[in-house]
Structure 1
Amino acid sequence: MTKKINDSFQTSLAQGGDNLTTPFKPIIPGIFTSTTYQRDEDNQYRSGRVYSRADNPTYDAPEKLIAQLEHAADAKLFASGMAAATAVFQALKPGDTVLAPDIMYWALRNWLKGLATDAGLNVHFVDMTQLDKVENKVMQLQPKLIWLETPGNPMWTVSDIRAIADIATQHGARVAVDSTVATPILTRPLELGADIVMHSATKYLNGHSDVIAGALATREKDDFWQRILAIRAQGGAVPSPMDAAQLLRGMRTLYLRVRESCDSAMFLAEQLEQHPMVCEVLYPGLPSFTGYAVARKQMQGGFGGMLSIRLVGGEHQAVGTAAKTRLWHRATSLGGVESLIEHRASIEGSGTPVPNDLLRLSVGIERKEDLLADLVHAIEASA
């Protein structure tokens, strides 16, 4: 069957979803700031809207677009990536067991070790790149949820989603995947057997470092999904209408931004791997990278815009390099149009698994040769 033009990600994103449904047919959908909605004369809400703590018409277009990109049954926006991620765990019951990766976003790892454990969840961390270890833990602990993050921040470890989903299915566990770094352009976890996919929409989906938002997409509208939606509505974990509108604006260029960042990151990884002051480049697109084979199998069209480098001069040279860059901004976040550099161990603090000689790089859309020259100069100047 010939693929319809409107089914392509590039076209769907550029169009920003189907917005021409109101009588005015605006190219850009409106922003609805009302907090409440009028009942019908018989006291019903046939409009489908009740109160904006639970939902808002401004969410419709970005949610529909995310669901389309992920081939999901439904998708919902949240106030942040953390709000989206924690809602999945909050939908579990006290006493339930969770498996999470040993390399993952530090804020969520800390939340799992602290508040989630305090709330009664049994949280166990495992190397998700080792399928035998995952299967042994699943057989031993019988978890209700397996949480994956691939590529895993900031070592960019790659987990085999399909293989782990198969293991989970055999033991009655759900699989949720933080796919923030891959984006739907490169990986669609639901197609690989996952049940839920999470995005910190603050990052690539928005892509302009001016919106805090999160998103969840589900393979099925089952009872577990309904629990997540109840947590979202009752807790008010939703973005503002303005943030939702800006998110949709940012998503219109997602395809172009991801492709450009992937191309530049691959260029930088190949060049930096040859530099004598760089002892290791962590990037899923390099054949020398441990997770390359799995990444090549489940990441289509590129390997992402994130990489990390480890310097022979250790922590001193890493911190010095970040201090001496001109184009790379020293800031926390990723996925924006501007390139960012960060000495990650300093940010995560004690207990971090991140080596102190590591710099995390978020590659933007600047000219790749300029980014390389700036970084190489900083590396050599800090030696």
Structure 2
Amino acid sequence: MNKNKKYSFETMSIHSGSEGKNANNALNPPIYQTSTFVFDNIDHVEKVMSFESDDYVYTRGNNPTLRLFENRMAALEEGSGAVAFASGMAAISSVLFSFLKPGDNIIVNKTLYGSSYNVVTHVLPQYNVNYRIIDLSDIDELSELIDENTKVIYFETPSNPNLTIIDIKKVSNIAKKKNIKVIVDNTFATPYFQRPLTLGADVVVHSATKYICGHGDVVGGVAVAKDKDYIQYLKFDYMCEFGGVMSPFNAWLLLRGLKTLSVRMREHEKNALEVARFLKNHPKVKEVMYPGLEDFKGYEIAKEQMSGFGAMISFEIDGDLEDAKKVVNSVKLAQLAVSLGDCETLIELPAAMTHRGYPKEELAKFELTESMIRISVGLENVKDIIEDLNDALSVI
């Protein structure tokens, strides 16, 4: 690539981060499937260990395949660097721990992925880190709850599973005045549709297992930031010491996934918009949560800070929990499963699956219900997806 030229996202997702030709002129980069690296002599050791050289020591610290994936993710998110992790939760928990100490507090949006909610409400308090759960779409409430011990604001947008849209720029503007770090989970949108760092966020995290991979065969995570010093700190003081390292093979598979990210996201979104409109007009569906619908609460903010609306949809049927179970048990094409972002359409009941850690008696407070159904719209022919959902809805 010409380093002086600004390329489009599609081109960068295939080429960015590469350093010249691959060994033996191979089109695809090799997998450096090694745990350790050798040195020429002790002087070489000293140069590498003191960061005078970019050579490698041990894959837990870095590896050429991991580095290429990190560099590519940093380029796509318009950051200065990235750290790859063994899972999305390894990325999220490491980033949170890197900014918080006993006595601090964290503000989070009231709807989070179940494991993220558990880290904030069960794990961090064991280290004397307090939390405040609020509606981050209410900027006035955010300003009122910040105090001198608030160090982090963490949220997803769109949120999992109710697709709440949070104004990244407004939250970041408030946070910066108080020297508070803003961490955004960008898993649902991907850097193709949204780049939080350009809107003021300090760190972006992903479950790379989802759309970054796109094929349901990798577990991985990544964190991206504009601050290069922070990336070094996160890598060597947290990723390395906690040990949540991504395998070189998984990094290679994620590089493969990134090559088709833009194409996949366009098709995912195209299908999702048709599915959302179908559900909205279905007599047995009472509410559809999808940012691409013009009457959705967060539509205007989504249109401003995103270049597309993604492929995640949640909806409420005109029925109860038993009816919702009948629907998800009746699909034939869609697969009943946790996770998302795969080529296959996936369907689930969040309160019983991905968000089962939330207290059942307080679901309404978190804008969740036991009968909420979430769909990750896949890449099958959209007519087949709609027919499958229509058949499933006909059982209630």
TM-score normalised by the chain length of structure 1: 0.94
User: 1:311 maps to what in 2?
Assistant: 317
Q: Does 1:337 align with 2:351?
A: no
2:161 equivalent to 1:147: no
For residues 87 and 136 of structure 1, what CA distance do their matches in structure 2 show? 28
On the 8 A contact 1:81/1:199 being kept in 2, the answer is: yes
CA contact (8 A) 1:19 1:28 kept: no
CA distance in 2 between partners of 1:39 and 1:11 (Å) = 35
Counterpart check, 1:126 vs 2:134 = yes
Q: Displacement of 1:119 after TM fit?
A: 1.4
**Aligned CA distance change for structure 1 residues 47 and 159 (closer, same or farther; 3 Å):** closer
Conserved? CA contact 2:61–2:235, under 8 Å: no
* Partner residue in 2 for 1:9: 9
Deviation at 1:380, TM superposition (A): 1.0
Are residue 40 (structure 1) and residue 40 (structure 2) matched? yes
1:231 maps to 238
Give the alignment partner of residue 207 of structure 2, picking from 194, 200, 210: 200
Question: For residues 140-197 of structure 1, what are the alpha-carbon distances to aligned partners after superposition, in whole Å with 9 as ceiling and x for unaligned?
Answer: 4641111121000000000000000000011110101000001000110000000000
| CA deviation string 1:225-271 (max 9, x = no partner) | 61454110122211111111111111111111111111111111112
Aligned pair partner of 1:106 in 111, 114, 120: 114
- 1:209 corresponds to: 216
2 CA distance for matches of 1:159 and 1:83? 24
In structure 2, the partner of 1:78 is 85
Q: What are the residue-to-residue correspondences of 1:173-188 with 2, within 5 Å?
A: 173-188=180-195
Distance 1:368-1:6 versus aligned 2 partners, 3 A rule = farther
Number of the residue aligned with 1:88: 95
Compute the displacement of 1:40 (Å).
3.1
Q: 1:222 aligns with which of 229, 237, 242?
A: 229
C-alpha displacement at 1:53, in angstroms? 1.4
In 2: Cα distance, 1:340 partner to 1:25 partner: 39
Q: CA offsets, 1:43-99, max 9 Å, x none?
A: 423452111111111112211111111110101110000000001111122211111
> Of residues 323, 328, 334 in structure 2, which corresponds to 1:322?
328
Q: What's 1:276 paired with?
A: 283
Post-superposition Cα deviations, 1:274-328, rounded to whole Å, max 9, x if no partner, equal: 111000000011111111111111111x201101010001211111011111111
- Looking at structure 2, the residues matched to 258 and 143 of structure 1 have their Cα atoms a distance apart, in angstroms, of 35
After superposition, what is the alpha-carbon deviation per residue over 1:345-364, rounded to whole angstroms, capped at 9, x for unaligned? 11233515321221000011
Q: CA deviation at 1:25?
A: 2.5
Take 2:229 and 2:199, find their aligned partners in 1: how far apart are those partners? 18
| Alpha-carbon distance in structure 2 between the residues aligned to 1:377 and 1:141 | 54
Counterpart selection for 1:359 from 360, 370, 373: 373
Give the Å deviation of 1:14: 3.5
Distance 1:237 1:376 in 2: 42
Helix, strand or coil: the match of 1:125?
A: strand
Identity of aligned residues (%): 36
Question: What SS does the corresponding residue of 2:394 show, helix, strand or coil?
Answer: helix
TM (norm. structure 2) is: 0.91
Corresponding position of 1:25: 25
Distance (Å, rounded) in 2 between the aligned partners of 1:17 and 1:88: 23
1:76 match: secondary structure: strand
Instruction: Give the match for residue 295 of structure 2.
Output: 288
- CA 1:93–1:21 in structure 2 vs 1: closer, same or farther (change >3 Å)? farther
Structure 2 gap ranges (5+): none
What is the SS of the residue equivalent to 1:145?
strand
Change (3 A) 1:5 1:41: closer
